[in-house]
């Protein structure tokens, strides 16, 4: 019975997506929905902040319904009747990571969050959804959008200059990456441009981007910072910068993030975009990437090249880290009775739903991490920060270490499918 329901649901969602004509429901610009998510490790709430109209829509006008089922959260946008799904997107946030920390057991705190959608022509119903412990989405917040509401913020985007530094495709059929400068002073804006050009060459060294150069656009917004560099709280270093990034996120020295999501979105709005990349003017090792939220990479470390595409694997295709910290804490990190939703890790509860069909029949599962299987696809123990009972597709991959500059076949497939989704 369960299977029949699943099949019907798949057919229904396919029909729903097949019937949506962009121009029937949307104008080619962005509606941004900002809110605060607050709470702790037990519970969380969503509080409305603002709606904002932004000048461009960079996403696909064909693939409006998310088919991937990735992310900790999801937005669902319905037409005015509430029956027809017209746009959806999965995503994750820094708050979702924070609730796994020790601090979240004792303290409640709030994070600013933001989601974007094409600008609806008529009234529409927005639902924000969370996953439960069984990884099933449920609605936690609902808001009726009136596109004629005069409280929709319409701030100008003319303070900074914008440059399309690479690509010639139309935004709706291209993967558009907007690069934001962090910790580059006015005098360093020419360095920013050189750095972006260098990172574009890094990007196109890695498959599948290597073979799809004509499907990608890079934009840069010239927003200088007062001071050079970024915050390093553990070393007592604080800089006045445009995006307020910092190392030592959750006390992890190399974890580079920012909580200033409002400012990020305000700067990204200068370009049509699918992904936001923050390039941080620093020599110190670090980075971060959260699915459909943002990417961060440092400009001048010897491993910057590897970090750049690794973080993009997180933010673009929701890939999990394939490394572990040598700790056997799977039950703390995951519900080990269901598959984690990330495509490139498995606890073997339902390996068929992951990459089992890509594995050679003669390869044992779990796969011994020996010379014999070094370049073979299998299920290798140690992944998703967990040493035991969580498995990764290959001995090594871009999502595991900086030693290889390629995605393993499972990650490559996910990134390739996402690229196709955005460029249709």
Residues that bind Zn ion (CB under 5 A): 344, 397, 399, 408, 411
CB of 88 to Zn ion, least distance (A): 26
CB of 203 to Zn ion, least distance (A): 17
Q: Identify whether the C-beta of residue 40 lies closer than 8 Å to the C-beta of residue 108.
A: yes
CB of 346 to Zn ion, least distance (A): 12
Q: Whose CA is closest to 298, among 164, 161, 181? A: 181
DSSP assignment letter at 57: -
Q: Which is nearer to Zn ion, 172 or 305 (CB)?
A: 305
Q: Which is nearer to Zn ion, 130 or 405 (CB)?
A: 405
Q: Whose CA is closest to 263, among 370, 181, 148? A: 181
Q: Which is nearer to Zn ion, 290 or 408 (CB)?
A: 408
DSSP assignment letter at 368: P
DSSP assignment letter at 321: P
Q: Which is nearer to Zn ion, 253 or 303 (CB)?
A: 303
CB of 394 to Zn ion, least distance (A): 6
**β-strands 109-120, 26-39 pairing:** antiparallel
What CA–CA distances, in Å, run from 171 to 160, 204, 220, 406? 20, 19, 14, 26
Give the H or E element holding residue 196. Answer: helix 189-203
CB of 340 to Zn ion, least distance (A): 14
Q: Which is nearer to Zn ion, 298 or 411 (CB)?
A: 411
Distance CA 106, CA 240 (A): 30
What CA–CA distances, in Å, run from 165 to 72, 160, 195, 300? 33, 15, 11, 20
CB of 71 to Zn ion, least distance (A): 18
> In the structure encoding, which two tokens stand for residue 379, read together?
């299920």
Q: Which is nearer to Zn ion, 37 or 413 (CB)?
A: 413
Q: Identify whether the C-beta of residue 100 lies closer than 8 Å to the C-beta of residue 333.
A: yes
Q: Which is nearer to Zn ion, 115 or 397 (CB)?
A: 397
Q: Which is nearer to Zn ion, 315 or 408 (CB)?
A: 408
Q: Identify whether the C-beta of residue 311 lies closer than 8 Å to the C-beta of residue 293.
A: no
CB of 356 to Zn ion, least distance (A): 15
Q: List for the chain the helix, strand, coil content (%; round to 5).
A: 25, 30, 45
**C-beta neighbour count of 251 within 10 angstroms:** 11
**β-strands 44-54, 26-39 pairing:** antiparallel
CB of 410 to Zn ion, least distance (A): 5
Distance CA 136, CA 150 (A): 36
Q: Whose CA is closest to 389, among 343, 318, 337, 353? A: 337
Q: Which is nearer to Zn ion, 163 or 396 (CB)?
A: 396
Distance CA 389, CA 30 (A): 42
Q: Which is nearer to Zn ion, 278 or 411 (CB)?
A: 411
CB of 397 to Zn ion, least distance (A): 3
Q: Identify whether the C-beta of residue 257 lies closer than 8 Å to the C-beta of residue 288.
A: yes
CB of 253 to Zn ion, least distance (A): 25
């Amino acid at each position: 019975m369960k299977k029949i329901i699943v099949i019907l649901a798949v057919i229904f969602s396919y029909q729903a997506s097949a019937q949506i004509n962009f121009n029937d429901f949307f104008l080619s610009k962005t509606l941004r929905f900002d809110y605060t998510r607050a709470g702790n490790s037990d519970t969380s709430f969503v509080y409305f902040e603002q709606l904002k109209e932004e000048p461009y829509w960079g996403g696909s006008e064909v693939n409006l319904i998310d088919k991937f089922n990735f992310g900790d959260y999801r937005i669902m946008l319905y037409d005015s009747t509430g029956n027809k799904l017209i746009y959806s997107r999965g995503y994750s946030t820094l708050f979702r990571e924070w609730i796994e920390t020790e601090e979240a057991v004792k303290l409640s705190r709030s994070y600013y969050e933001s989601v974007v959608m094409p600008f609806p022509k008529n009234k529409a119903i927005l639902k924000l959804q969370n996953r439960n412990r069984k990884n099933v989405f449920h609605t936690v917040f609902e808001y009726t959008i009136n596109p004629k509401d005069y409280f929709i913020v319409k701030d100008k985007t003319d303070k900074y200059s914008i440059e399309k530094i690479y690509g010639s495709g139309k935004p709706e059929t291209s993967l558009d990456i907007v690069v934001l400068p962090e910790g580059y002073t006015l005098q360093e804006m020419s360095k920013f441009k050189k750095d972006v050009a260098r990172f574009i060459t890094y990007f196109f060294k890695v498959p599948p981007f290597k073979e799809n150069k004509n499907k990608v656009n890079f934009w840069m917004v010239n927003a200088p910072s007062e001071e050079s560099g970024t915050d390093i709280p553990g070393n007592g270093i604080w800089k006045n910068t445009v995006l307020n990034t910092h190392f030592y996120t959750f006390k992890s020295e190399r974890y580079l993030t920012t909580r200033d999501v409002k400012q990020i979105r305000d700067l990204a709005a200068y370009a049509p975009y699918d992904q936001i990349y923050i390039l941080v003017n620093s020599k110190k090792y670090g980075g971060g990437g959260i699915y459909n939220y943002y990417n961060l990479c440092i400009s001048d470390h010897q491993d910057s090249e590897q970090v750049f595409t690794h973080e993009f694997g997180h933010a673009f295709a929701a890939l999990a880290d394939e490394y572990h910290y040598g700790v056997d804490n799977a039950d703390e990190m995951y519900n080990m009775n269901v598959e984690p939703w990330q495509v490139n890790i498995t606890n073997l509860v339902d390996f068929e739903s992951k990459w089992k069909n890509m594995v050679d029949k003669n390869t044992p599962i779990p796969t011994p991490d020996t010379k014999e299987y070094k370049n073979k696809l299998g299920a290798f123990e140690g992944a998703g920060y967990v040493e035991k009972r969580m498995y990764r597709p290959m001995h090594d991959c871009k999502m595991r270490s900086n030693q290889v500059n390629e995605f393993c076949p499972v990650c490559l497939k996910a990134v390739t499918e996402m690229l196709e989704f955005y460029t249709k």
